[in-house]
Amino acid sequence: MRSMVPIVSTRPNGVDTVGVNDAGLPDQRVLALRAVHRAASELRRGTPILLQGPEGALVVAAAETVSARGLTELAAAARGPAVLLLAPVRAAAVLQRPVPQATGAAPIGTAAEMGAVALRLSPALLDPAALRSLADPTAERLLPEQPERTAMPPQALPAIALAKLARLLPALVVAPAAEAAASRLDLLSVKAADVLAYPVAAPASLTRVAEARVPLEDAPEARIIAFRAADGGIEHLAILVDSVSPEASKDAVPLVRVHSECFTGDLLGSLRCDCGPQLRGAIQRMAADPAGGVLLYLAQEGRGIGLVNKLRAYQLQDQGLDTLDANRALGYGADERNFWVAAEMLRAIGVPRVRLLTNNPDKLAGLAACGIEVEGREAHQFEGNGVNDGYLETKARRFGHLLT
Ligand SMILES: Nc1nc2c(ncn2[C@@H]2O[C@H](COP(=O)(O)OP(=O)(O)OP(=O)(O)O)[C@@H](O)[C@H]2O)c(=O)[nH]1
Ligand SMILES: [Zn+2]
């Protein structure tokens, strides 16, 4: 019998994007998302995977997590020597000199930052303990004085992209894969094209999974709606804040804040950033606004690099780098977020037009590019606290944040 039951749900605009095919199997898009998500999990566990592309397959392991067993498996699956693959920005930091792909990069993530540099691996670096300390940004002395550049393997860019999706350092041990390595060694296989498509494909599968009234100190009528993507990642939340104003208007364009998760600032009250005051301040402003508002709380910790890498970036900042250069020294772009998730959530809750609470010009442009009508911007700035003054200054000077 022909099955018409969607296994994930429909897109908020009513268009079926994820369903089952006639045989009852998940369609290609679900399979592609699943393969990428599984591959990222394998890398996090220290297991090599195979990245398939038009120029052949690459066997890939994350330098940060790969175990002795993982390296043995990688060697068994390889048909050539392994190399160390680094994002150019990371290579420049490791080598303490510029590398060609990293030059001329604009302040916010550029295509160049997605590039890669391949270094010939010294035997010492194939020692798993050495690889782990290479992942530690303060322990780069293990690299030879002048590591030899070597030819770029195929699928280098999707390999770097996969490490970033796994929220690992974009530092990989890779080798060209031998014929039939996947089946012989039971390694997970993923298509390079699916990895590259993932950041845009995953938000398209968002589905509403839970909704509840959660009275907040500053917004007694607040409701929270949780959205889950087919990638199985952490859910994103929309916090709907009704106006407490007596002249509340149902038709006016609501205030919207696109807020990326910040465990340290939002939850612990860290003084390193301005996230805590921005979060609470946004809810207060929405409740006071006649049009009310929506706060999107996105699982994009550390501007998309994850909490662990943000802590590493903090360590580098304590050594003198600013927030942007610290991201780059780890091999990440300045800002690894995209705005598809936010746009999909706004459409799902019926908010196609917004007044955006932000100082970040990229959020205005990014949301508009994803189809949301940005009617205006409302500044959302808080005084420095003595600890975050340099961070706020960097946001204004290097990220182009708008002041007032
Ligand atoms: N990588 C990195 N992330 C940081 C750092 N400080 C704060 N963050 C993260 O930055 C994100 C906060 O960004 P947003 O609140 O969206 O702020 P914004 O992009 O500066 O823009 P607006 O606040 O809207 O003006 C959170 O995910 C924080 O965890 C840092 O030094 N390094
Ligand atoms: Zn923060």
CA dist list (Å): 221 to 43, 181, 224, 294, 319: 43, 57, 10, 12, 45
Ligand 1 atom showing the smallest separation from residue 401 Cα: 25
- 207-213 and 223-228 strand pairing: antiparallel
The CA distance from 191 to 184, in Å, is 18
Catalytic residue (one of 337, 353, 377, 389): 337
256 within 8 A of 233, measured Cβ to Cβ: no
Q: Enumerate the domain spans of the chain.
A: 28-200, 206-300+337-398
List the 223-228 sheet strands across, edge first. 207-213, 223-228, 236-241, 293-298, 255-260, 353-357, 373-378
Residue of 374, 340, 339 lying closest to 357 (CA atoms): 374
The CA distance from 140 to 152, in Å, is 22
Q: Which spans in 150-217 are helix H?
A: 156-165, 181-185, 192-201
Tokens of 206: 């968002």
294 within 8 A of 238, measured Cβ to Cβ: yes
Tokens of 227: 């959205």
Domains 28-200 and 206-300+337-398 share a fold: no
pLDDT digit string (tens) for 98-129?
555 433 222 222 333 445 677 666 666 666 66
Residue from 164, 268, 273 to probe ligand 1 pocket by mutation (most atoms less than 8 Å from CB): 273
The CA distance from 278 to 357, in Å, is 9
Ligand 1 atom showing the smallest separation from residue 391 Cα: 31
Q: Which fold has domain 28-200?
A: DHBP synthase (3.90.870)
In tens digits, the chain (404 residues) has pLDDT values of: 333 322 233 333 333 343 444 455 568 888 899 999 999 999 999 999 999 999 889 999 998 888 888 888 998 999 988 888 887 777 776 666 655 543 322 222 233 344 567 766 666 666 666 666 666 655 555 555 556 677 778 888 899 999 999 999 888 889 999 988 878 888 999 999 999 999 888 888 899 999 999 999 999 999 999 999 877 778 999 999 998 877 777 778 999 999 999 999 999 999 999 999 999 999 999 999 999 999 999 999 999 999 999 999 999 899 899 999 899 888 888 999 989 999 999 999 999 999 999 999 999 999 999 999 999 999 999 999 999 999 999 988 998 888 77
Active site residue 231: no
Report whether residue 342 contacts ligand 1, using a CB cutoff of 6 Å: no
ipTM above 0.85, yes or no: yes
CATH of 206-300+337-398, one of 3.40.50.2000, 3.40.47.10, 3.40.50.10990, 3.40.50.800: 3.40.50.10990
Surrounding residues of ion ligand 2, Cβ less than 5 A: 262, 265, 273, 275
Does 275 appear as a known binding residue? yes
Residues 6+ apart with CB under 8 A from 35: 188, 189, 190, 191, 194
Report whether residue 305 contacts ligand 1, using a CB cutoff of 6 Å: yes
Q: Which residues of 2-38 are buried (b: 16+ CB within 10 A; e: fewer)?
A: eeeeeebbebbeeeebbbbeeeeebbebbebbbbbbb
State in Å: Cα 260 to ligand 1 middle.
7
List the 49-53 sheet strands across, edge first. 117-120, 83-86, 171-176, 56-62, 49-53, 189-191
Tokens of 67: 């175990």
Query: Exposed/middle/buried for 80, CB within 10 Å: 0-12, 13-18, 19+?
Result: exposed
Tokens of 134: 């290479």
Ligand 1 atom showing the smallest separation from residue 362 Cα: 19
Active site residue 335: yes
